[in-house]
């Protein structure tokens, strides 16, 4: 081991937090190396100094202030969840629900986006609960990052594509060439175990894992896999994969590559004709200059042919092998436990309910606007909802003081 | 005296008055954690209040996977990090501001260790120096350092509080300690390394 490697471990060595063998190696190095010994001494002195820093005294009235605050909040909300109650006292909360209801109805009337809308709402809900049950976050509203919202909207848009008339093209002329793809997000108890199962399942069905990765995202273990599976097994593999965990998001898409295919084939034919012509000219060329020029052209054409051939092969591949983008996320065990029914437990549960209601409302707005497009006149209500949320946060921040 | 777990149990069974005992037991710890993280008594007070408020309402769903204290520190820690994120680059820490009003307080915390700074003035200077230097560490390093050296948690408890691996705790703590050591040396303050001064080994001070 180098001195640097030793030094990186001195802190843990000091606390005897290394395996015995490691401890011995470092002790031995220290006995021989005065520099590392100096380093250790400095660490020890630093820690000794820190330990001399006494504790600061909290303000004497803090205990009572906290107890008072708790009593106030608990009293204020007796029998009802705090947030629900606070919002109920405000006139515009009714307006908010009315607006949400209007949008919901509008969304239903618009209709076509409904399946994906439901998906988005479900995803949001379960996420909200995962975050809040058994978590100390219980008092704060779930934070809906703008990014998440956008993601859901994109999903809706993606789904919408399936309905475009572009699909009809080619059906008359030739078999449609569609590259199928799916995104599947699963909540699982053991990411690594399910990861292995996914690989097993896909390889057993004649597919393969194109790439994959696993990491800790925040507090959650997450695996991403890009799977390629034979197109004729696509649906049934997808169904089997979905059974490995709790489906949090599922998105199906198909890209119609018929047009692209036909186009590429035509260009390829054209280039091949050019190639023949150049070969012809080459035979008849006499000056070196001519020969060089024609060979240059020939080279360019052949390069393009190569590229287009590769592209066609790629398209064939896309159509023959479907792509499944999969994300495995660790399910927080807490999501399935339920608090004992004490008063505070009931309050927390009610609070959670109000949080998911609120969450739903936000999703309604977001989704309805995406689907409806023409529901822009409702934008002021969306604004109102955000203002309400902002007001709530501000109020809470104010109470914290 | 009842253990934390027993108190939590009583609380869950509906005897919510026992919360006061938990509060009294951990108030100082949480306050100090917040103070060391935020370098500001106002914020430390707010964070303590919010942490216990959250704890009170979330306690029914506390599962007891980790110790109550760990769980409570996690709440406080996250609140601190949230606040730090909010104020981001704003430097709230000021050398004089938090200490001017607390001389009386500091007198009560003279260290028992004989090697420590000897006079009250020295002690106060020393406190300021340490807090100032700690404050220059990146938040996650500071956090591990505070939990280890001030809250005196074990590596295991730190990893539970921060929900990270033992390896992460080790490496962050290592970096924090050695960075702080260098900063202390660089500070050139006479009481930074009293041992060295007394033993005449101050030669390598920058
Ligand atoms: Zn060495």
Q: How far apart are CA A207 and CA A265, in angstroms?
A: 27
Positive or negative, the CA dihedral B186, B188, B194, B199 is positive
User: Where in chain B are the domains?
Assistant: 4-96+108-198
Residues 6+ apart with CB under 8 A from A309: A268
pLDDT digits (tens, 9 = 90+) for A282-317: 888 888 888 888 888 888 888 888 888 888 888 888
Contact A344 B155 (CB under 8 A): no
CA of A21 from ligand 1 middle (Å) equals 17
CATH of domain B4-96+108-198: 1.10.1740.10
Segment holding A306, helix H or strand E: helix A288-320
Selected residues 151-170 of chain B with any CB under 8 Å from a CB in chain A: 155, 163, 170
Q: How long, in residues, is chain B?
A: 206
Nearest to B105 among A42, A57, A219 (CB): A57
Q: For the residues B58-78, what does the mean pLDDT come to?
A: 91
Give the chain B residue whose CA is nearest to the CA of A51.
Answer: B149
| pTM for the model | 0.46
Mean pLDDT is highest, among A110-114, A168-172, A182-186, A372-376, for: A182-186
Q: What is the pLDDT of chain A when averaged over all its residues? A: 73
* Percent of the residues in chain B that have a pLDDT greater than 70, as a whole number: 75
Could you tell me the pLDDT band of residue A84, with boundaries at 50, 70 and 90? very low
pLDDT tops 70 at residue B104: no
Q: How far apart are CA A34 and CA A193, in angstroms?
A: 48
* Residue, of A287 and A145, whose pLDDT is higher: A287
Q: How far apart are CA A215 and CA B160, in angstroms?
A: 18
What's the CA angle centered on A290, arms A289 and A291, to 5 degrees? 90
What pLDDT, on the 0 to 100 scale, is given for residue A369? 65
* Percent of the residues in chain B that have a pLDDT greater than 90, as a whole number: 58
Segment holding A224, helix H or strand E: strand A220-230
Nearest to B74 among A11, A74, A136 (CB): A136
Residues less than 5 Å from ion ligand 1, measured at CB: A 3, 33, 36
Contact B149 A51 (CB under 8 A): yes
pLDDT tops 80 at residue B68: yes
pLDDT digits (tens, 9 = 90+) for A4-30: 999 999 999 999 999 999 999 999 999
User: Where in chain A are the domains?
Assistant: 3-48, 83-142+349-401, 145-334
Helix (H, G, I), strand (E, B) or coil at B30: helix
* Percent of the residues in chain A that have a pLDDT greater than 70, as a whole number: 66
Contact B13 A15 (CB under 8 A): no
Buried b (16+ CB within 10 A) or exposed e, A11-37: bbbbeebbeeeeeebbeebbeeeeebe
Contact B61 A11 (CB under 8 A): no
Q: How far apart are CA A283 and CA A281, in angstroms?
A: 5
Q: How far apart are CA A146 and CA A362, in angstroms?
A: 11
Segment holding A86, helix H or strand E: helix A82-88
Residues 6+ apart with CB under 8 A from A236: none
Contact A139 B52 (CB under 8 A): no
pLDDT digits (tens, 9 = 90+) for A100-127: 666 666 655 555 444 444 444 343 333 3
Strand A321-330 relative to strand A178-188: parallel, antiparallel, unpaired?
parallel
Q: What is the DSSP letter of A136?
A: G
What pLDDT, on the 0 to 100 scale, is given for residue A43? 94
CA of A38 from ligand 1 middle (Å) equals 9
Nearest to A348 among B48, B58, B105 (CB): B58
Contact A43 B181 (CB under 8 A): yes
Segment holding A226, helix H or strand E: strand A220-230
- φ, ψ of residue A25 to 5 degrees: the values are -60, -45
CA of A40 from ligand 1 middle (Å) equals 10
Contact A62 B102 (CB under 8 A): no
């Amino acid at each position: 081991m180098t001195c640097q490697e030793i030094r990186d471990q001195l802190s843990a060595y000091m606390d005897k937090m290394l395996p015995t063998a490691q401890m011995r190696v470092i002790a031995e190095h220290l006995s021989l190396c005065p520099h590392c010994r100096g380093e250790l001494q400095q660490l020890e002195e630093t820690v000794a100094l820190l330990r001399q820093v006494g504790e600061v005294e909290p303000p004497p009235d803090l205990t009572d202030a906290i107890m008072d605050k708790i009593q106030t909040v608990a009293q204020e909300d007796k029998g009802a969840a705090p947030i629900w109650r606070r919002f109920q006292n405000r006139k515009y909360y009714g307006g908010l629900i009315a607006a949400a209801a209007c949008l919901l109805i509008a969304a239903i009337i618009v209709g076509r986006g409904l399946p994906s809308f439901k998906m988005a709402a479900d995803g949001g809900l379960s996420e909200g609960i995962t975050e809040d049950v058994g978590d100390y976050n219980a008092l704060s509203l779930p934070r809906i990052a703008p990014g998440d919202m956008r993601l859901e909207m994109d999903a809706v848009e993606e789904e919408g594509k399936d309905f475009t008339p572009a699909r009809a093209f080619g059906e008359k002329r030739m078999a449609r060439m569609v590259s199928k793809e799916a995104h599947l997000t699963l909540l699982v108890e053991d990411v690594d175990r399910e990861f292995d199962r996914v690989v097993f399942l896909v390889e057993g069905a004649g597919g393969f894992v194109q790439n994959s990765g696993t990491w800790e995202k925040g507090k959650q273990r997450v695996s991403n896999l890009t799977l390629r599976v034979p197109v004729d097994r696509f649906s049934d593999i997808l169904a089997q994969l979905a059974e490995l965990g709790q489906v949090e998001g599922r998105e199906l898409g198909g890209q119609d590559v018929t047009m692209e295919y036909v186009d590429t084939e035509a260009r390829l034919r054209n280039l091949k004709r050019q190639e023949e012509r150049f070969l012809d000219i080459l035979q008849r060329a006499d000056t070196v200059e001519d020969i060089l020029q024609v060979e240059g052209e020939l080279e360019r054409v052949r390069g393009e042919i190569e590229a287009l051939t590769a592209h066609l092969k790629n398209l064939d591949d896309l159509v023959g092998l479907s792509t499944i983008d999969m994300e495995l996320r660790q399910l927080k065990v807490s999501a399935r436990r339920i608090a004992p029914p004490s008063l505070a437990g009931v309050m927390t549960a009610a609070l959670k309910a109000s949080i998911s209601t609120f969450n739903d409302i936000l999703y309604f707005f977001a989704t309805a606007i995406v689907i409806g497009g023409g529901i822009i006149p409702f934008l002021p209500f969306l604004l109102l909802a955000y203002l309400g949320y902002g007001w709530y946060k501000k109020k809470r921040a104010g109470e914290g003081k | 005296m009842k253990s934390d777990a027993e108190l939590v149990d009583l609380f869950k069974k509906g005897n919510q008055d026992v919360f006061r005992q938990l509060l009294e037991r951990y108030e100082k710890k949480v306050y100090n954690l917040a103070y060391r993280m935020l370098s500001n008594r106002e914020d430390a007070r707010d964070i303590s209040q919010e942490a216990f408020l959250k704890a009170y309402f979330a306690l029914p769903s506390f599962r007891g996977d980790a110790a109550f204290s760990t769980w409570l520190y996690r709440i406080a820690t996250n609140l601190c990090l949230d606040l730090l994120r909010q104020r981001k680059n704003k430097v709230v820490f000021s050398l004089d501001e938090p200490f001017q009003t607390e001389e009386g307080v500091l007198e009560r915390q003279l260290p028992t260790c004989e090697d420590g700074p000897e006079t009250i003035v020295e002690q106060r200077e020393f406190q300021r120096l340490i807090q100032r230097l700690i404050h220059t560490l990146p938040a996650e390093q500071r956090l591990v350092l505070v939990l280890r050296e001030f809250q005196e948690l074990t590596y295991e408890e730190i990893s539970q509080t921060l929900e990270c691996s033992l390896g992460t705790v080790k490496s962050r703590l290592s970096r924090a300690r050695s960075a702080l050591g260098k900063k202390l040396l660089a500070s050139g303050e006479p009481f930074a390394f009293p041992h060295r001064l007394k033993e005449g080994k101050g030669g390598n001070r920058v």
